[in-house]
Chain A
Amino acid sequence: KNQVEQSPQSLIILEGKNCTLQCNYTVSPFSNLRWYKQDTGRGPVSLTIMTFSENTKSNGRYTATLDADTKQSSLHITASQLSDSASYICVVRSGGSYIPTFGRGTSLIVHP
Chain B
Amino acid sequence: EAGVAQSPRYKIIEKRQSVAFWCNPISGHATLYWYQQILGQGPKLLIQFQNNGVVDDSQLPKDRFSAERLKGVDSTLKIQPAKLEDSAVYLCASSLGAGSIDPTGELFFGEGSRLTVL
Contacts and interface: CB of A to CB of B under 8 A. Distances in A.
Interface of A: 6, 31-32, 34, 36, 41-46, 49, 89, 91, 93, 97-100, 102-105, 107
B42 A105 contact: yes
Interface string B81-109: 00000000001010000110001111101
A43 B42 contact: no
A46 B42 contact: no
B91 A43 contact: yes
A46 B3 CA distance: 14
B44 interface: yes
A83 B43 CA distance: 22
B87 to A, nearest CB: 15
A104 B104 contact: no
Interface of B: 4, 35, 40-45, 48, 55-56, 91, 93, 98-99, 103-107, 109-112
Contacts of B111: 41-43
Contacts of B104: 32, 49
B106 A46 contact: yes
Contacts of B109: 43-45
Contacts, number: 54
A99 B56 contact: yes
Given A100-B45, A102-B44, 4 more contacts: A31-B105, A41-B111, A43-B93, A46-B106
A103 B42 contact: yes
Contact of B106 (A49, A105, A107): A49
Contacts of B40: 107
B76 to A, nearest CB: 18
B105 A44 contact: no
A93 B42 contact: no
Contacts of B4: 43
A110 B52 CA distance: 42
A83 to B, nearest CB: 18
Tell me which of A36, A45, A49, A98 has the highest count of chain B C-beta atoms within 10 A of its own C-beta.
A98
Nearest to B4: A43
